[in-house]
Amino acid sequence: MSFKLEMERSAKKTGSNIVLALDLPPDQPQRLLSKSIEILKMVHPYVCAVKLNRQLVLPLGLSNRVQQIVEWSHDQGLPALMDCKINDVGHTNRTIAEHYYKAGFDAVTASPFVGWDEGLQPVFEVAKQMHRGVILLVYMSHKGAKEGYGQTIYEPKTERKMPQYVVFAQKALSWNADGAVVGATYPEKIQEVHAILKNHVPIYSPGVGAQGGDIESAIEAGARYLIVGRLITLAQNPAETAELVRDTAKQFLKE
């Protein structure tokens, strides 16, 4: 089963389009592992996937502790995403992707800034070989995103000036990416990117809650999945908050 189909299956089964970002404050590795599993036990009925970032993986280590989180997620039928933002030369990118896929992750994030030839092509090749996914960063959720993703560039193929994120959206489509990240904090960018991707490449939107992204605005603009972290992980009652976020999002999802 392809990663896109796996996500669709999980979203249908759970009735949720929420990807839980396990964003936790720094702590001792064993406590981070315990807290991660504790949160997952509380919120797994209300989410369709789990996302880890380097902030969590670095102290836990890719083997053993991180694999326990991935395996626990899989036991609940939840895909596991690695937000590693691959952004190097091709042979290095391939090795990075292989390590995360072998650790059990179903998809990785990658930056289209490095291009295709001797850039992300090896990542897509190994993803295809291992039946995993690649999600491209098209427009991130933080304030400084405009300095890179929002800059105006000269596009040689069309000989036109274009926003960088528009070119990245076009690459996500032509490279047959499994997803595109566009921050929920920029619904107007989601709308533009969705007009390019339509339903061929689903949009993943981080930034709901702690960064000020709005659930309704993001979904109405075209986001398929919402990546929600601190709003849930730092809540006094993570399960109650996750259920509320899921139910709020369901009001605006188009079947």
Residue 161 pairs in a beta bridge with 154
What tens digit of pLDDT does each residue of 97-111 get? 999 999 999 999 999
- State the pLDDT at residue 167: 95
138/152 Cα distance (integer angstroms):
14
Contact 86, 93 (CB under 8 A): yes
Q: How many CB atoms lie within 10 A of CB 174?
A: 9
- Do the Cβ atoms of 52 and 81 come closer than 8 Å? yes
In the chain, the number of structural domains is 1
**pLDDT tens string 44-58:** 999 999 999 999 999
Determine, yes or no, domain membership for 255: no
**Angle 29-43/238-250 helices, nearest 10 degrees?**
50
What gap in Å lies between CA 243 and CA 120, rounded to an integer?
Answer: 36
Residue 171, domain member (yes or no): yes
pLDDT in tens, 116-170: 999 999 999 999 999 999 999 999 999 999 999 999 988 887 788 999 999 999 9
In a domain, 18, yes or no: yes
Whole-angstrom distance, CA of residue 149 vs CA of residue 58: 26
CATH code: domain of residue 119: 3.20.20.70
**Position 217 in a domain:** yes
Catalytically active residues, by annotation: 85
* Domain range for 218: 3-250
85: in domain: yes
**Residue 23 lies inside a defined structural domain of this protein:** yes
